Amino acid sequence: MAGRAWILSGAVTLTVVGLIPNSFIPRMTSFALADSLNVRPGTWDISITTQTGGSLIPPDLLAKMPPEQRAKIEQSMQARSGKPMTHTSKECVTQEDLDQDRMLKEQHEDGELQCPTRVVSKSSRKLVIERTCPAPRASTSQMAMEAKTPETIVGSIDMTRAGSGKVHADIKGRWLGASCAEIKDRD
């Protein structure tokens, strides 16, 4: 699944926003003992619609860029600010993912999760988590995921980046089937 733009937590990735090619799909790590989210394992169609505002790139990083590059990035951010962008993907969700509160997965270049995650509340119908990521991509976010039925989910993510950047994402998911073979064949 490397290279796939993801969806939630440690910030809705700037890939989804379209600024930096690095997926940000939050990984929800289990810290609370409760039932797993009541959804079916298997292939899911996940749609995430994001809206951004402010600067998503830390001011110190912008300051280090050559003026021409900085102007292009600032222009791109301004053009996308406040305009919804939708990303849809098929994801394989295992029972282990559900048991570990990872309905949505995050990929890291080094394979390690860098952002401490805290479960705020958890039941078989709803999961709320908070996440704080350190510099250089400092951010705080809150994600809420609700199982409307075992075959449908809705959720939202609100993230604030260091400085003035904000991202809001609305998530919709529907279960497609128990097998993940089609997805695994693409990896």
pLDDT digits (tens, 9 = 90+) for 16-74: 434 333 333 333 333 334 578 999 999 999 999 999 887 777 777 778 889 899 888 88
Token readout for 14 is 């700037």
CA dist., res. 103 & res. 96, Å (int)? 10
Domain count, the chain: 1
Give domain status of residue 7, yes or no.
no
pLDDT of residue 34: 52
Residue 3 included in any domain: no
Q: Are 42 and 48 in contact (CB under 8 A)?
A: no
CB atoms within 10 A of CB 138: 15
**Would residue 54 count as lying in a domain?**
yes
pLDDT at 142: 95
Q: Which residue has the tokens 């890939």?
A: 15
CA 155 to chain centre: 11
pTM given for the model: 0.71
Domain span including residue 166:
14-186
In a domain, 125, yes or no: yes
Any idea what DSSP says for residue 86? E
Residue-wise pLDDT tens digits, 66-100: 989 988 888 887 777 778 999 999 999 999 988 88
**Structural domain contains residue 32:** yes
More confident residue, 17 or 138: 138
Q: For residues 75 and 121, which has the higher predicted lDDT (pLDDT)? A: 121
| 155 pLDDT above the threshold of 50 | yes
Residue 98, classed as helix, strand or coil, is helix
Domain contains 52? yes
Q: Please report whether residue 4 resides in a domain.
A: no
pLDDT confidence of residue 135: 79
Residue 101 lies in a domain: yes
